[in-house]
Amino acid sequence: MRSRNVLLAIITALLLCNNIFSTSAVLDEYNVYEISDDYYNVFGQPHITAVISGDNTFKRGDEGTLFITLLNDGETYGFEADDDHLKNDIANYGSELVMGLATKELSLDRQVTTAKSMTGKLSLVNADTPLEIKINTVLIDSLQEGKSTKDPLTFPIRIYDNARAGIYELRLDITYTYQKDSAVSAPYGETYFWNVEGNETAILTIEIEEQPFFEVTETASDLTAGESGMLKVTYKNVGDVTAYDAIARISTVDPFSTTDDQAYLGDMTPGETRTALYKINVDETATAKSYAINNEIKYEDEHGDIQYSKALKANVNVKPAVPFSDKVKESPVVLILIVLGIIGAPTYLYIKRKKITT
């Protein structure tokens, strides 16, 4: 009997010294009760909620980041002691050892509200939502009860250029594992964990602002290398609200130049079009091909603040330079002027010399 008490004392001491000889295993729902002595049943689990951090308002054509913070507001509802296990083990191994093991199990059971190995996946509630989620999955280590993520989850997104203003829903699916129960068995203090999977779904909303939005609907040009020509650009407000005092502006680079780079469009209501004319000079070295000339529209919003449209493109075709001989053939007027110049120049010089002599 004395040797048995000494053995139990040694085991108790080892358990108190950081459980040097304890082992652990993850078990399924059935083995956790068959293999180990479960002193307590615990009731509780994580509960993950999600909110958008910062601004959830975007504009058409925006490329930005959606920041989402997670909060674990799970709780432990209670514990239920298995009196039969406790009584049997106390009878076999003594009260001090068994109550130490039971206390350890109770402490481990409090971890049931911690979410581990978390994954967040963002998706569209409706497939026709006008945005692209560039990276839709993030990994999170763990989240204890009462804690929120130290750094928000980040999801890069792009709003389509043709997006309509309004409220749109996104779905965040969160999966994780958590410890449903634990057990510590006598006399050596082996520990067992029963881990299961959990999941939560959060519906989040973003807003796409009402705003004017412009498109180039038509271009017409007659541009030839080495000559000046006209460029006609038609703009349409495909947005939701009026743009006030709109001014269109082109930006030219080689082989183009102009001193006529702006056109006043005035107020443009949703669906309304305006046409601008620009005089363009084309360098004589220009290659005959298609080009894109940059455009933008400056306007005032409903609050009187200056805004700028996204970059627009006006596509133009440049024709090859016309040889001088072809110009003469195509234009009788040019030919007449040349002939007059040939005849008139000597006559003019003769008359001028005669006047000087006189």
Tell whether 284 and 230 lie within a shared domain: yes
DSSP assignment string, 21-68: T--EEE--TTHHHHHS---EEEEEE--EEEEEES--EE-TT-EEEEEE
Q: Which of 189, 208, 227 is the last residue of a domain?
A: 208
Q: Judge whether residue 173 has pLDDT over 70.
A: yes
Distances (CA, A) of 8 to 17, 87, 95, 111, 188: 14, 16, 10, 28, 9
- The number of folded domains in the chain is 3
Q: Judge whether residue 72 has pLDDT over 90.
A: yes
Query: pTM above the 0.95 mark?
Result: no
Count CB neighbours of 150 within 10 A.
9
Q: Once rounded to an integer, what is the mean pLDDT over residues 248-271?
A: 96
Tell whether 182 and 233 lie within a shared domain: no
Per residue in 91-104, pLDDT tens?
A: 999 999 989 988 89
Tell whether 224 and 246 lie within a shared domain: yes
Tell whether 270 and 161 lie within a shared domain: no
Per-residue pLDDT band at 16 (split at 50, 70, 90) = very low
Per-residue pLDDT band at 187 (split at 50, 70, 90) = confident
d(CA 241, CA 231): 28
Tell whether 118 and 251 lie within a shared domain: no
Per-residue pLDDT band at 303 (split at 50, 70, 90) = very high
Q: Judge whether residue 10 has pLDDT over 50.
A: no
Tell whether 127 and 56 lie within a shared domain: yes
Tell whether 264 and 336 lie within a shared domain: no
Q: Parallel, antiparallel, or unpaired: how do β-strands 115-124 and 166-185 relate?
A: antiparallel
CATH number at residue 147: 2.60.40.10
Count CB neighbours of 168 within 10 A.
21
- Check residue 98 and give its pLDDT: 86
Domain range for 227 is 214-319
Tell whether 184 and 248 lie within a shared domain: no
Tell whether 170 and 287 lie within a shared domain: no
Tell whether 175 and 38 lie within a shared domain: yes
Q: Which of 188, 208, 228 is the last residue of a domain?
A: 208
Tell whether 299 and 170 lie within a shared domain: no
- Check residue 334 and give its pLDDT: 52
Q: Which of 182, 208, 234 is the last residue of a domain?
A: 208
Tell whether 97 and 65 lie within a shared domain: yes
